[in-house]
Each structure stands twice: as structure tokens, then as C-alpha cells.
């Protein structure tokens, strides 16, 4: 079994549509500059209320990615 070392970064994704889209937006955008992302953990959800309705979803994530030299 291989051993890995991961680095963890915190991200905040947002969406007007859903929590799921907020997660996907954060990971999609992070993939443009981070390589070898392996997992995520939702640490908090928040949102904005506009005129008594949900206006925006925010999801706080920890994302782990494999460090160089720690890959299979």
C-alpha cells in the first residue's frame, strides 16, 4: 500500500442555485491551479437572504491534494 502526504487548503464556493453547485463551482475553479486534488470535506454552509428568500448559497470546504513526490 502506498503512503501519501496531503496538503489541505480551504475554499469557499458559492452559487445562486444550490449547495451542490457551490461545491462544484469551488472544486472546478480550484482545479485550474491545484493538481492532484483527492478529497473534500464540507466544513460549513452559509447563505445570503434577500427579501425573505435564499439569495445565495455558500459552502466552506477543505480540499486535500497529493504533494509532489507522494504519488503512486
Domains and CATH numbers, the chain: 6-66 (3.30.1660.10)
Q: Which residue has the higher pLDDT, 21 or 70?
A: 21
**Per-residue model confidence (pLDDT) at position 3:** 74
What number is the average pLDDT over the span 2-9?
84
**Per-residue model confidence (pLDDT) at position 52:** 97
Strand partners, 8: 64
Residue whose C-alpha cell is 475553479 = 29
DSSP sequence for 6-40? EEEEEEEEEESS-HHHHHHHHHHHHTTT--SEEEE
DSSP H or E segment with residue 54 = strand 53-66
pLDDT tens digit sequence for 47-68 = 999 999 999 999 999 999 987 7
pLDDT tens digit sequence for 12-30 = 999 999 999 999 999 999 9
**Per-residue model confidence (pLDDT) at position 4:** 77
Amino acid at each position: 500500500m502506498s503512503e501519501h502526504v496531503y496538503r489541505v487548503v480551504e475554499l469557499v464556493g458559492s452559487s445562486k442555485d444550490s449547495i451542490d453547485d457551490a461545491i462544484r463551482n469551488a472544486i472546478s475553479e480550484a482545479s485550474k491551479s491545484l493538481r492532484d486534488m483527492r478529497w473534500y470535506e464540507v466544513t460549513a454552509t452559509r447563505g445570503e437572504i434577500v427579501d425573505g428568500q435564499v439569495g445565495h448559497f455558500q459552502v466552506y470546504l477543505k480540499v486535500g491534494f497529493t504533494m509532489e513526490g507522494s504519488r503512486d
